[in-house]
Amino acid sequence: MRRLKTLAVVGVGLIGGSFAQALKRADAGTTVVGFDRDPRALERAIALGVIDTAAESATEAARGADLVFIAVPVRQIGAILRDVASSLGPDAIVTDAGSTKAEVVRIARDALKDRLPRFVPGHPIAGRESSGVDAATPELFRGARIVLTPMPETAPDALDVARDCWEAAGGRVAITRPEEHDQIFAAVSHLPHLLAFALVSEIASRGNSQDLFGFAAGGFRDFTRIAGSSPEMWRDIALQNREALLFELDSYAGRLAVFRELIERGDGPALERLMREAKGARAAWIAGTRRSASNE
């Protein structure tokens, strides 16, 4: 990793705190300035040694920083970008951890204006059951996929620094276009979350919901685990990635209609073939993830 004298972290929760810890571990000389709209989070971050100093605002945190890492809920990224734009040094780099990217880029164009080339949109695919700075760990990103989605305007040196930092934190960096990122995550993350929320919502709405839950078992528990995620966060992701998510939802509804048709007309062989292909594709994926994990 290149020398990072000062790192600013805006949003000192699980993601922001873990990034700070990972970069401090990679280079003990890095000073971390933190800001959070929750003063208690900031106090805890100081007490835990996750950050070195607390700033009064995002603008103040960004002043003099080599890298500004924005790890706030995706809907608040625009306001933070506007705040940091005014104090950003000429060579400073800004990156974020938002779960959607095309909308963040659209907002960044407006918020950052001529500073846009210094922005590297990003999305670390990492998390834990618990949240907040107390759950932060320098190990959070070890082996995790980190997606960076540079714009045509993004300066190559800014992308390089962001990539180096994530790799120093243990992440496996992939580069895609923002729209491609959003399509991919609509399919493999946002849609499944929506499907799980909808299933629990439907069952909870029934007159006999207590009987239904009473007989639900391990398969149901795993299938709906993601319906235990933050409603605010998933509301924002669904709305920010609306177009790609609706496309995926409609494609999925079409696939479900095929299954429905096969069941209705009792076509066992075709139904089994589709299920067998799905089982095979999933098994190949799981085998691949094990292989890539053991290659690290």
Chain positions 198 to 237 lying near a second copy, rule: CB under 8 A, are 198-206, 208-209, 211-229, 231-232, 234-236
Supply the minimum distance, in Å, between the C-beta of residue 86 and a second copy: 29
Between residue 272 and residue 291, which ones bind a second copy under the rule CB under 8 A? 272, 274-279, 281-283, 285-286, 288
Question: How remote is the C-alpha of 230 from its chain's centroid?
Answer: 13
Rounded to the nearest whole angstrom, what is the least distance from the CB of residue 156 to a second copy in the complex?
A: 23
Q: Of residues 174, 177, 179, 247, which one binds a second copy by CB under 8 A?
A: 174
Of residues 97, 158, 194, 244, which one binds a second copy by CB under 8 A? Answer: 194
**3-state secondary structure at position 183:** helix
Residue numbers 94-153 binding a second copy by CB under 8 A? 125, 127, 145, 147
Of 85, 86, 72, which is closest to residue 116 (Cα–Cα)? 85
Count other C-beta atoms under 10 Å from residue 68's C-beta: 29
The torsion angle over the Cα atoms of residues 218, 224, 225 and 226, rounded to 10 degrees, is 160
Spatial distance between the Cα atoms of 149 and 159, rounded to a whole number of angstroms:
9
Q: Is residue 191 involved in binding a second copy (CB under 8 A)?
A: yes
Q: What is the CA radius of gyration of the chain?
A: 21
- Give min distance, CB of 120 to a second copy, in A: 18
> Judged by CB, which is closer to a second copy: 26, or 212?
212
Q: How far is the CB of 81 from a second copy (least distance, A)?
A: 21
| Residue 17: both structure tokens together | 């705190």
Task: Output the six-digit token pair for 244.
Answer: 């790609």
Show the binding pattern over residues 235-254: x = contacts a second copy (CB under 8 A), - = does not: xx-xx--x--xx--x-xxx-
Closest approach, Cβ 260 to a second copy, in A, equals 6
Which residue number, 56 or 129, has a Cβ lying nearer to a second copy?
129
Contact between 69 and 19 under an 8 Å Cβ cutoff? The reply is yes
Q: Which residues contact 258 (CB under 8 A, 6 or more apart)?
A: 274
Q: Does 264 bind a second copy (CB under 8 A)?
A: yes
Q: How far is the CB of 270 from a second copy (least distance, A)?
A: 9
Q: If binding is defined by CB under 8 A, does position 188 make contact with a second copy? A: yes
Asked if residue 189 binds a second copy (CB under 8 A), the reply is: yes
Structure tokens at 137: 């760990």
Question: Could you count the other beta carbons within 10 Å of the beta carbon of residue 50?
Answer: 25
